[in-house]
């Protein structure tokens, strides 16, 4: 990797109204960490927080299902189909900046 590529990779970038500290992103890695009824867990929050603290500019969450009838692909997949599922993604602020 050339110095120019390193400079670009580790330099900030603005995308819309969001500024990322660098151009390194992390794709979703967990797949079956939610509860049986699709709620995000503290384990998931800590998993993503550890990557965020590790210096990634962008950390994506895993694939979620958006309706209860057709889009769930596997057991213990997190959902955003209900208010309870959506609210389970909101944490008390103890994990992430």
Query: Rounded to the nearest 5 degrees, what angle is found at the Cα of 49, between the Cα atoms of 47 and 50?
Result: 70
What's the confidence (pLDDT) of residue 33? Answer: 87
pLDDT, one tens digit per residue, over 28-69 is: 776 788 999 999 999 888 888 888 888 888 888 778 899 999
In angstroms, the CA 24 to CA 67 distance is 31
In angstroms, the CA 50 to CA 53 distance is 5
% the chain with pLDDT above 90: 47
pTM: 0.70
Question: Is 65 within 8 Å of 80 (Cβ atoms)?
Answer: yes
Question: Is 40 within 8 Å of 78 (Cβ atoms)?
Answer: yes
What's the confidence (pLDDT) of residue 81? Answer: 96
In angstroms, the CA 75 to CA 56 distance is 28
Average pLDDT, the chain: 85
């Amino acid at each position: 990797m050339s110095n120019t590529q390193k400079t670009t990779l580790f330099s900030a970038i603005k995308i819309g109204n969001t500024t990322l500290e660098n151009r390194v992103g992390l794709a979703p890695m967990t797949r079956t960490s939610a509860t049986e009824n699709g709620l995000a867990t503290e384990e998931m929050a800590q998993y993503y927080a550890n990557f965020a603290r590790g210096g990634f500019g962008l950390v994506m969450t895993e694939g979620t299902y958006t309706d209860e009838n057709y889009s769930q692909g596997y057991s213990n997949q997190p959902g955003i189909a209900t208010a309870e599922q959506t609210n389970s993604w909101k944490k008390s602020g103890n994990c992430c900046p």
